[in-house]
Chains A and B, each alone.
Chain A
Amino acid sequence: MSTQHYDIIIIGSGPAGQKAAVQAAKANKKVAMVEADKVLGGACVHRGTIPSKTLRENALRIANLRKHAELFSFSLRPDLEMTALIENMHAVISAHDDYINNQMTRNAIERIHGRASFIDSHTILVNMPGGKSVELQTDYFVIATGSVPRQVDNIEVDHEYVYDSDSILSMEYLPQTLTVLGGGVIASEYASIFSSLGVRVTMIDRYPRPLGFLDQALTDQFVHAFEASGARFIASANVTRVYWDGVSQVITELDDGSVYRSEKVLSAAGRVSNIVGLSIENAGLTLNERGIIPVDRQCRTRVNNIYAAGDVIGPPSLASASMEQGRRASRAALGLDLGEMTDLIPGGIYAIPELSTVGMSESEAIEKYLDPIIGVAKFEEIARGQISGIQDGMLRLIADPQGEKLLGVQIIGEGATELIHIGQMGLLAGMNIDAFVENIFNFPTLAEAYRVAALHIVGQRTTPS
């Protein structure tokens, strides 16, 4: 078997892999990208971020249409097909695929279709569909193989009645009832999206509230909005068994004896590193106790010439962060200047309503400052919120106990993931709270909420300024 040599090999073509490959190619290196799928882009493009956000956008449109149905004297078809809801998804994916392919070609990145398996720290075997294989050698590797749904022992995912986050969008029609098992980001996003589409959703989680890594003020608002849409959240519940009745319902049994029936179930127990078949042990790598490949701030693994980026190295598991990790991994491997790695990464949860945070949470601020001041602006009190019908939301500014230094921003409500960037820039620039009061924002806008929340903080200062 002949062996080809590259300066750097990227395994995986998701957001992290793409940026790693392009970065290396721009440094005039000979780059190969190994992708097991027929198409490039990874789960982000084909099963995750892009398809689910497409569905979400359509869910929002439908929710808006329903809201205004009376005004414009029309009614929606009672039984919308999933395929109709995500019909533009294929166009979006195809456009993205073209974009990635063009980028690969433009940068002379060699695309190798196959599954990689480490032989040693400098060599991989790539098996191709049909049984052929090729051996590749390189100076550096970037592992960017993403993640796969976590499997739970007592839940058999058959992708027909019980789905996971990789298969849920293969549904071709909206079920009348859906049970969502889990309370994390994926569970909350899909549960709220399907509820907005008119599906009767029951979300069951073992914790007291969903999205437990967020402050309670936000999750309370989320649960309120979720239940107001007709869904139910069952807290602190342990699932003992999930099975199809052989006819039309999936039965979910809890350890307290309660039973939930639904047409479909989504098991959303988080995601784990995708290293199946990669034989990382042959390269001297092992997963840590959290089931991920550990890396340092430069995305370097314990093996000097092997880097890893994206979901395969665990949280934050955001496409945005993955891209930057991929870029940094390549630059670090090639000895290029890295620049400062920021810890100030905004988190976005594309549920309905949307949630986004940046900087310190309230609980983190209490831990560090004991008595932070929280400024709150409810969207229902903002003119733009009233005009646009975006009333189910709020913006919270976290400030130090003096009410001067901005520590963090939290937003729930439509547009949260866009609106957060004002706060992010404020944090990066070290702006104080008064800057939000003293500067003029467009009116009417949701951005006005920053000013209202800042004024709320000013009003709570013990020493008037």
Chain B
Amino acid sequence: MDQAFIDSITEQLEQRIQQKTLVLPMLPQVTSQVLSLVNDVDSDALALTKLIQSDAALAGHVMRIANSAAYSPTAKMTSLQQAIARLGMQNMADIAMAATMGPALFDAKGFEPLIKEIWQSSLATAVWARELARQGRRNVESTFLCGLLFQIGRPVVLQTVLDIANGNNNSPGVDDVSFLMNQYQAEVGQVLAEHWQLPLPVSHTIGGVEIDGAAEGSQDIVDTIKAAKVFSACTLSNQHYDIDVLSSDNSIITLNLYVNDVEKLLEKSDSIHETIKELSF
């Protein structure tokens, strides 16, 4: 794609960011899964809970709706677990249903591998973040949610760029889309998190995880997600974990993890792989 067209997309993307006309699309297969599960909430409660906690887009929409005045007029939910416990499975089923009805479905032919990569890395980061939070006696629920949503801007940018390009009868390449995703995902994610009134640590994580300095807030969670990304990168590449390399990574040191802590975490890697596999599509 030529530079002029990139500039044109960039301009339109920035306009949509300003106007907050951004859409977080759902995966079609998740939508159909939700539809099949909400019919019998009692028997499918477990499966629906797992689904809500494993799909970044669904989790984001569920948090948005659960925190709306209709469901939570007096208090804001800080985690998916809290929303499930407070609102009950029937309400959660309604919310999941609403989440699948409102937003558009992904329409990104040719970009499926990229979407899969984003989804898997979000899930793997969330699962590792949960273990790191447990290890450090940090809040597990918030950390998991932040891991799941730390790059929620990526799919939004991806779909928005494709929508703009399609409207102009153009087909951007994966490299161009990746470039724009990297450039705008944090800003878009934060706009979305703020607009949807997602818990503050989510916004702090989206903004803080890509920078070296101090985050705007929730530093502990941001540091945990940074470290979780290091573990998840190993998981998603070849599942080879070099203890020395991991232990000397700055994000791991920042969390005050010692070599034997890393060893202990890696003892759980098989069960973490299982969890990721089980929750993946």
Rounded to whole angstroms, the CA-CA distance of A159 and B252 in the bound complex is 20
List residues of chain B with CB within 8 A of the CB of A115: 258, 260
Q: How large is the interface on A (under 10, 10 to 19, 20 to 34, 35 or more residues)?
A: 20 to 34
Whether B45 pairs with A159 at a CB distance below 8 angstroms is no
CB contact between B78 and one of A38, A166, A173 (< 8 Å): that residue? A173
Least CB separation from A129: chain B residue: B253
Whether B137 pairs with A166 at a CB distance below 8 angstroms is yes
List residues of chain A with CB within 8 A of the CB of B252: 129
Chain B 37-54 interface 0/1 with A at a Cβ cutoff of 8 Å (1 = within): 000000001100110000
Q: Is A158 an interface residue (CB 8 A)?
A: yes
| Contact A170 B140, CB 8 Å, known A131-B244, A247-B84, A248-B85 | yes
**How close is B78's CB to chain A, nearest CB, in angstroms?**
5
**How close is B211's CB to chain A, nearest CB, in angstroms?**
21
Task: Give chain B's interface secondary structure class.
Answer: helix
Least CB separation from B77: chain A residue: A173
Whether B89 pairs with A248 at a CB distance below 8 angstroms is yes
Rounded to whole angstroms, the CA-CA distance of A176 and B89 in the bound complex is 16
Give the residues from 199 to 249 in chain A that come closer than 8 angstroms, CB to CB, to chain B: 246-249
Q: Is A81 an interface residue (CB 8 A)?
A: yes
Whether A159 pairs with B89 at a CB distance below 8 angstroms is no
Q: Is A257 an interface residue (CB 8 A)?
A: no
CB contact between A131 and one of B79, B82, B86, B248 (< 8 Å): that residue? B248
Q: Is A421 an interface residue (CB 8 A)?
A: no
List residues of chain B with CB within 8 A of the CB of A47: 137
Chain A 20-48 interface 0/1 with B at a Cβ cutoff of 8 Å (1 = within): 00000000000000001110000000010
List residues of chain A with CB within 8 A of the CB of B36: none
Give the residues from 123 to 142 in chain B that come closer than 8 angstroms, CB to CB, to chain A: 130, 133-134, 137-142
CB contact between B138 and one of A37, A128, A170, A173 (< 8 Å): that residue? A170
Give the residues from 175 to 210 in chain B that come closer than 8 angstroms, CB to CB, to chain A: none
Q: Is A135 an interface residue (CB 8 A)?
A: no
| Contact A176 B86, CB 8 Å, known A127-B259, A160-B140, A247-B49 | yes
Q: Is A167 an interface residue (CB 8 A)?
A: yes
Whether B134 pairs with A79 at a CB distance below 8 angstroms is no
Chain A 175-218 interface 0/1 with B at a Cβ cutoff of 8 Å (1 = within): 11000000000000000000000000000000000000000000
Q: Which of B78, B79, B133, B137 has the most CB of A within 10 A?
A: B137
Rounded to whole angstroms, the CA-CA distance of A188 and B88 in the bound complex is 30
Give the residues from 129 to 176 in chain A that come closer than 8 angstroms, CB to CB, to chain B: 129-131, 158-161, 166-167, 170-173, 175-176
Rounded to whole angstroms, the CA-CA distance of A36 and B258 in the bound complex is 9
Q: Is B24 an interface residue (CB 8 A)?
A: no
List residues of chain B with CB within 8 A of the CB of A161: 81
Chain B 236-262 interface 0/1 with A at a Cβ cutoff of 8 Å (1 = within): 000000001001100011001111100
List residues of chain A with CB within 8 A of the CB of B46: 246-247
**How close is A387's CB to chain B, nearest CB, in angstroms?**
34
**How close is A132's CB to chain B, nearest CB, in angstroms?**
9
CB contact between B256 and one of A38, A81, A171, A176 (< 8 Å): that residue? A38
Interface residue ranges, B against A (CB under 8 Å)? 45-46, 49-50, 74-75, 78-79, 81-82, 84-86, 88-89, 130, 133-134, 137-142, 244, 247-248, 252-253, 256-260
A-B contact sample (4 more), CB < 8 A, given A81-B78, A130-B247: A127-B258, A131-B248, A159-B133, A263-B85
